[in-house]
Amino acid sequence: MATTENSSTKTVERVLPASIPFADLKARDLEECVYWLFDALGAKDLEWRTGGSGRGAADGGRDLEAHFYTPSIDNEVEPQVWWVECKGRSGTVEKSEVQEALNNSLAKDGLDYIVIATNTQFSNPTRDWVKEWQSNHRRPKVKLWDSEHLERMLSKHPSVVLRLFSDALSLEGRVQAMESRFWNKLEYSPPGLLNEVWKARRDIEFSAMPMVAAIASEFSNGNISKRQWGAILDTASIAQVLHTALINTPYLAIRSSESGTDQTPIIRTAAYLIMCILREISAEMASELVTASLYHGDADSMPQNVKDYLLLPIINQLLSELQDVCSDDCSRMIADKTATLSEEKDKIDSYWVRFEETDEEEAEEAEAGRLLIERHDAPCKVGFKVNKERGCPLFGFEPTSDNLSEVLGIVKRVVEARIAMSNAQL
């Protein structure tokens, strides 16, 4: 069973340097490699600078410009201007090319750094000349990045390697890249990558952050019925992953708003993990875990409207899903098929697969939709005591942060009963 603890003694090679095609990394390919590397390093205002001082067609005719903003000792933010010239070669970079690049850089006012990057090497005489040039010119500071330097930097940023040289990543590297893309860029991983990681899930030690990234990516791509990540975690691990998801919900929501990204996968991730933990612990314990994580342990001093603002999107998503799947075969519910639900709803007959680890193919998404009318003369399929006066607790219930434990109790009963029914049909 996978856990969410990483071994501190295990050495893992995430990037396979021999698989990075440095010999073919020339012109635009080298520029793109350095571009995305700077992006991963946190560069701002990163752009191509058309018509650079390189060798025209041989270098792609472009250079890069990037800005970094760093705090000074008195906490003032100071901008740094970086230029990059890429020299893709079959052999050692010509000394004259480096000389020309550095001398041309003097014409740029306010330039702090110039990087000359190559897929090969710089000769010792070239490096000696650069040292002498630097001693006579305080700015810009010069950095020579050869293939070995690029290799070391790429090894620290698997997300760049995944983007450009996916075959050069080990399995652990792909997991780290998946984590980095989600948490740093709020980018979701494609099904192909998720499937590769899923197939090797028993050989990987997952931490909480890549697990959240995997689950959110599944919901971004559709649903989680094909790769049931929650089913491979033990109770402590589910609690840790849920805690990580909930404590970062405000951060992820802000990032989604800033980037124009749909927040639905994040909300569905939290709802799914809550259902997973309800299979393992009581509703009361789950409620305590949710509130402590989502409110950062400060629920007592937090205004009611703020608590509801953070909690209700998750709880409403959870209840909405259960209303759809639990009412589908309920004799107490009469469905008007003329209404149409969102395409984001999971296909009802494959919904409960998400809680049991399988290697089966995922069913197609359904476009089911219903307007439901509740009958009062039929029993509840999952055992709730219902009558004419007391309807299905999944409907007409107004969840708040104050009645979370009661809501989760209802959810727990539905989840346990429905999973038992689903397993009995297999």
What local confidence, expressed as pLDDT, does residue 147 receive?
94
Q: Is 358 exposed, middle or buried (0-12, 13-18, 19+ CB in 10 A)?
A: middle
**Tokens representing 345?**
């709803």
Residue with tokens 């004799």: 331
> Could you give the CA distance from residue 194 to residue 178 in angstroms, rounded to a whole number?
9
Buried b (16+ CB within 10 A) or exposed e, 27-54: bebbbbbbbbbbbbeebeebebeeebbb
Distance, CA of 332 to CA of 324 (rounded, Å): 13
What integer pLDDT is reported at residue 48 of this predicted model?
83
How many C-alpha atoms does 159 have within 13 Å on its Cβ side? 23
Low-confidence stretches of the chain (pLDDT < 50) are 1-11, 52-61, 337-346, 362-369
Distance CA 204, CA 198 (A): 9
Average pLDDT, the chain: 84
Give dist(CA 144, CA 24) in Å, integer. 19
Tokens (6 digits) for 340: 């149409």
Which residue(s) pair with 81 in the sheet? 67
Beta bridge partners of 84: 64, 115
Helix (H, G, I), strand (E, B) or coil at 93: strand
Task: Determine the Cα–Cα distance for residues 224 and 352; give it in Å rounded to an integer.
Answer: 10
Shortest CA distance to 310 belongs to which of 330, 328, 337, 291? 291
pLDDT, position 13? 65
Task: Give the model's pLDDT for residue 50.
Answer: 62
β partners of residue 374:
333
